[in-house]
Structure 1
Amino acid sequence: MLSTDVVVVGLSAMGSASLYQLARRGARVIGIDRHVPPHIYGSSHGETRITRQAIGEGTAYVPLVLRSHQIWRELEAQTGASLFLPCGGLILSSPVGEALHHGKPQFLPRTIQAARQFGIAHEVLDAAQIEARFSQFGLKGDETGYYEPGAGLLYPERCVQVQLELAQRLGASVHTGERVQRLIPQADGVQVETDKNRYAAAKVVVSAGAWAADLLGGPFARVLRVYRQVLFWLEAQDPQTYAPGRFPIFIWMFGSSEGEHFYGFPQVAQGVKVATEQSRVSTHLDRVERTVLEAETQAFLERYVQGRLRDLGPACLRSATCLYTSTADGDFILDHHPDSERILVASACSGHGFKHSAAVGEIMAELALQGKSPLDLSSFRLHQRPAWA
């Protein structure tokens, strides 16, 4: 049996960050993943992820994203890798009402309030101002926009890879292609059983995403659900029109019903990435349909893109699926397992976690090694997450 200070289970967004932060603090740490991250089977892939500083999901998240932005820049300075592109961000909404976004109503006003509270540079634009600045959007004329110049995009695969590589340079051990089967709390630690080995750890950090509910069981199985999402890369008639600097990341809420919102990015590789989110039909890892059907592509183009994004499509260059592991209220769990203070859980990104993941890794390292974090985590306790109906 291998003995170590901390075992990290799951090495994508929050797991790679936790592994790196633990290693840089001198801990003996082992990371375990059933795949070889960065991989395409969970939630931390697809070329880009939105990052924004004023968080409409709740002001408790703002310190996390601000710290994450600092860490991304520190990682870039250490490695020379390009991880974060600040290309500006636009959140749009119409007065007819807003669809819930990540479980939260009034997302645009909440975003503006967060920006004002934390002194985040921003502008509030009317439809004419949005049209003058970003003519790519086909507006109805009643929209209001929140523009944040410091928002932008992250490259998730690079972020995961860089943190794993740095962690290993600092002495961390990474075990891929290995499946954790059981966590057994003990008086002085946790025994971790996998399909290949057994480990004795003083603490365990579980950041297993879509695998977390099956592994942790109990209350986690009641508050976590997995949803299949689909991403599309569309052909722009003039790619320069959608280039960074001319086109921002965006979130557009055009109605108040389920699914009446979508988001997208400037073109940073082949095609302009756009997608929506769904929380109607849950799935399980054993049943996920990884293939995107042509009918799904056509339905997305007709419902979201046509009439809203000019000179984009109809050609879809590629598509992909990813998974959201979500709570009913859209908030995170950053807490210990109710059966053991030695098992720490960072899960349920609920579709908006990657931007916060660098800081979450730091929080998990602090909790594992010091038993506390300087940030207020009271909003992220397990007991606050309602069970799914």
Structure 2
Amino acid sequence: MTTADVAVIGLGAMGSAALYQLARRGMKAIGIDRFDPPHDRGSSHGETRITRQAIGEGAEYVPLVLRSHAIWRELEAQSGECLLHAVGGLILAGERAEGRHHAKPDFLGTTVATARQFGIAHEVLSAEQIAERFPQLILQGDEQGYYEPGAGFVLPEKCIEVQLTLARRMGAGVFTGERVLRLEPTPGGLTVHTSRARYAVGRVVLSAGAWVREFLPLEAFRVHRQVLYWFEPEDPALYAPERFPVFIWLHGPGEDGHFYGFPMLQGSAGVKLAGEQFSRESDPDQVEHTVSSEQIGFIYRHHVAPRLRALGPRCTRTAACLYTSTPDGGFVLDWHPELPGVFVVSPCSGHGFKHSAGLGEAIAQVIAEGRSAVSLEPFSLARFAKR
């Protein structure tokens, strides 16, 4: 039976970051994943993920994303890969917009407030200024905007691959194609039983994403299928990274009242766009990865055609991914209430990847040193017991 100081279960955004940070601290660490990461079965795929330093979900997230940006630059230096592209980020909202995003009210206003609180470079723009700077956008004229030059996107598959590669170099064991069946407490720690083997470990980092409910079946944890779309531009240069930022656009009420997007990467299938839905739950083992023509038609008619110039209806690629969410849209970073020595890292409610490198560091600090430099108190399980 293989032994280790700590086992990381699930090697997506959070798990790969935690394994890397544990290994660099000299801990004997192993990582286990039912698939072969980076893969397209969970929440950490699809070419790009938005990163922004001023966080509309709350000030408690800002220290995590600032550490993530610094760590990604360190990872780039070690690997020679480019992971973080600071192309700028725009958040805009019109008068008809509900203003909520990821279960948080006044998302735009909170973003501005956290930028001021942490001294993050930004501009507050009028509709006229947005239209002048980004002629790709079709505005109603009542929009307000927040522009952050240090925002942009990261490449999720590359981030995961780099961290797993570096973790292996530092002695971490990576076991893929193994499903964890159960966690058995023992006098010295835990035994991790998988479909192939058993592992005796002192601690466990449970970063299983949409499968976290197999180990902590809380009703508060909900899994939602999300769809990503790539549309073909008439002029690719118009949406090139040097001319077009990442964006989040709040334009109406309800969950269909916003969408987000990216510039077109070199070699990409098109301009990547997506909305979000939280009304229909999914079983992570039975997710439909095919996207219907009706879904493509809806996002084009409802979001794209009225708001983005020179972006045609031809959808060149689609992908489905999973959000594992909580009622308040917040993370869970806490010790398992029934399994001693198991630290739960999920759900991330659809906005976790930008924080993942910093979270990996914080998790490793908790496991190795007993506490993290960044406060994790806002992400405790206790908040659900109060409801």
Correspondence for 1:148: 148
Query: Displacement of 1:94 after TM fit?
Result: 1.1
Amino acid at match of 1:358: A
CA deviations 1:311-365 (Å, max 9, x no partner) are 0121111111000011111000011101234100111111100000001111111
Question: Taking structure 1 as reference, are residues 325 and 120 closer, same or farther at Cα in structure 2, changes over 3 Å only?
Answer: same
What SS does the aligned partner of 2:321 have? strand
Correspondence for 2:198: 198
Correspondence for 1:106: 106
What SS does the aligned partner of 2:286 have? coil
What SS does the aligned partner of 2:39 have? coil
Correspondence for 1:132: 132
What SS does the aligned partner of 2:141 have? coil
CA deviations 1:10-33 (Å, max 9, x no partner) are 001000000000000001011000
Matched, 1:116 2:130: no
Correspondence for 2:246: 249
> What is the alpha-carbon distance in structure 2 between the residues aligned to residue 254 and residue 148 of structure 1?
19
Correspondence for 1:44: 44
Matched, 1:300 2:299: yes
Residues 14 and 207 in structure 1, CA contact (< 8 A), matched pair in contact too:
yes
Structure 1 regions of 5+ residues with no counterpart?
none
What SS does the aligned partner of 1:45 have? coil
> What is the alpha-carbon distance in structure 1 between the residues aligned to residue 215 and residue 75 of structure 2?
31
TM-score by length of 1: 0.97
Correspondence for 2:363: 364
> What is the alpha-carbon distance in structure 1 between the residues aligned to residue 100 and residue 126 of structure 2?
21
Higher alpha-carbon deviation: 188-197 or 164-173: 188-197
Correspondence for 1:170: 170
> What is the alpha-carbon distance in structure 2 between the residues aligned to residue 128 and residue 329 of structure 1?
34
Amino acid at match of 1:333: V
Higher alpha-carbon deviation: 247-256 or 187-196: 187-196
> What is the alpha-carbon distance in structure 2 between the residues aligned to residue 71 and residue 290 of structure 1?
32
What SS does the aligned partner of 2:294 have? helix
What SS does the aligned partner of 1:340 have? coil
Query: Displacement of 1:188 after TM fit?
Result: 2.4
Aligned alpha-carbon RMSD (Å): 1.2
What SS does the aligned partner of 2:35 have? coil
Higher alpha-carbon deviation: 152-161 or 190-199: 190-199
> What is the alpha-carbon distance in structure 2 between the residues aligned to residue 365 and residue 19 of structure 1?
8
Correspondence for 2:10: 10
Amino acid at match of 1:318: R
Residues 128 and 141 in structure 2, CA contact (< 8 A), matched pair in contact too:
yes
Matched, 1:291 2:290: yes
Residues 99 and 257 in structure 1, CA contact (< 8 A), matched pair in contact too:
no
Which residue among 233, 236, 240 is the counterpart of 1:239? 236
Question: How many percent of aligned residue pairs carry the same amino acid?
Answer: 57
TM-score by length of 2: 0.98
Question: Taking structure 1 as reference, are residues 111 and 382 closer, same or farther at Cα in structure 2, changes over 3 Å only?
Answer: same
Query: Displacement of 1:257 after TM fit?
Result: 2.0
Residues 181 and 215 in structure 1, CA contact (< 8 A), matched pair in contact too:
no
> What is the alpha-carbon distance in structure 1 between the residues aligned to residue 62 and residue 237 of structure 2?
32
> What is the alpha-carbon distance in structure 2 between the residues aligned to residue 257 and residue 101 of structure 1?
10
The 5 A counterparts of 1:53-64 are 53-64=53-64
Which 4+ stretches in 1 moved above 4 angstroms? Answer: none
